[in-house]
Amino acid sequence: MKKVICLCCALFIFITNIAYAEVTGPETSAKSVLLMEQSTGKVLFENNADEKLPIASVTKIMTMLLICEALDEGKITMEDMVPVSERAMSMGGSTMFLAAGEELSVYEMLKGIAVASANDGCVAMAEYISGSVEGFVDEMNKKAQELGMQNTNFINTNGLDEDNHYSTARDVALMSRELLRHDRIFEFTTIWTDKMHDGQYDLANTNKLIRFYQGANGLKTGSTSKALCCISATAKRNDMQLIAVVLGAATSNDRFADARTLLDYGFANYAVDKPVESGEEVCTVPVVKGRKENVPVCAKNEFSYLTSKGNKNACETEIILPEEIKAPVTKGQVVGNMVFRADGEEIGEVELVAGEDINKKSFADIIGELFNRLFG
């Protein structure tokens, strides 16, 4: 009887340990952390992720985002020369050693902000894009609202300590995710060392993970007396891009350790599957009265979903298309959709489009076909 009781107790402890292992995540020391997968926006782990905290130079993620958007919209170019004001030159903290009256290209400014966390560069770019720092900060807060950053308020462009300047780990992840949509930013955030001012000044990336963590590709560090040590660390492996936000770590080493722990946890336990690529041909559909008998059907966009590495259930795909399509057919014309399901639940949908133009048969085409049938 004692053996049975001991066996039951041991089994209970074993099962309890398994359940505990399933619900516990990585151990971190910072005030607030969050781990997000970029393509889906799914949160993989969080701890105190909605506490409003100062975020120091992590603020510059929003500054860089607005710069990238201005570039994409054609408002500015990388070759534009940006004047440096007295206000920009007066910025303390980390700088790129700008002097009032000089001009640097947008390219050099963005490099200084991304690599050296240049407070002066942020002010110069804000004045160049919006006419004033205040106007640019208004745009930062407007963009924050658009992204659903409900617990964020910006007072400046660079993250220097000011009252009422705050964000959260969740909100930082949201703006980090948006910045990562701009591939051009990786040209800057992956720099380890570089030079500026015709080689007069050395730049060293404040994000040490860039050199020492596999797949690291960004994004921004920050530290002040109020914010302590912060980072939004990004890394990509096997098509999975992760965002690890750490706010309020006691030391610089602690923030990097927490970021590594979060990223390791994500890569060890999750994977991104991509059943279809953008523009990939998935099938063909017959065309009625067309100059070609069939039209190729392609996925309008890619689709990816996050899965636990322990989940063996494959994604199921359903293609919904008409039996035939009447000519004429225009390339890019929506002809159906592709539905994805996992564990019996719909997890996404992609439109299917015609892969090429197919004109309707002319009268001459029809006569030609008849002639060929009759006379071979």
Determine the pLDDT at residue 313.
64
Q: Amino acid identity of 336?
A: G
Name the active-site residue from 32, 94, 111, 117.
Answer: 117
Name the active-site residue from 31, 60, 220, 361.
Answer: 60
Q: Write down which residue in 210, 239, 269 finishes a domain.
A: 269
CATH number at residue 334: 2.60.410.10
On the question of pLDDT at 12 being above 50, the answer is no
On the question of pLDDT at 8 being above 50, the answer is no
CATH number at residue 151: 3.40.710.10
Q: Is there a domain that residue 95 lies in?
A: yes
Q: Is 117 annotated in the active site?
A: yes
Residue pLDDT, tens place only, 119-137: 999 999 999 999 999 999 9
Q: Does 68 lie in the same domain as 199? A: yes
Q: Does 289 lie in the same domain as 259? A: no
On the question of pLDDT at 361 being above 90, the answer is no
Please, which pLDDT band fits residue 376 given cuts at 50, 70 and 90? low
Q: Is there a domain that residue 375 lies in?
A: no
**Cβ pair 232, 245 in contact under 8 A:** yes
Q: Is 57 annotated in the active site?
A: yes
Q: How far is CA 269 from CA 127, 191, 253, 290, 307, in A?
A: 44, 29, 24, 50, 9
Residue pLDDT, tens place only, 200-248: 788 899 999 999 999 999 999 999 999 999 999 999 999 899 999 999 9
Name the active-site residue from 57, 94, 130, 167.
Answer: 57
Determine the pLDDT at residue 201.
80
Determine the pLDDT at residue 312.
59
CA proximity to 192, closest of 172, 217, 162 = 217
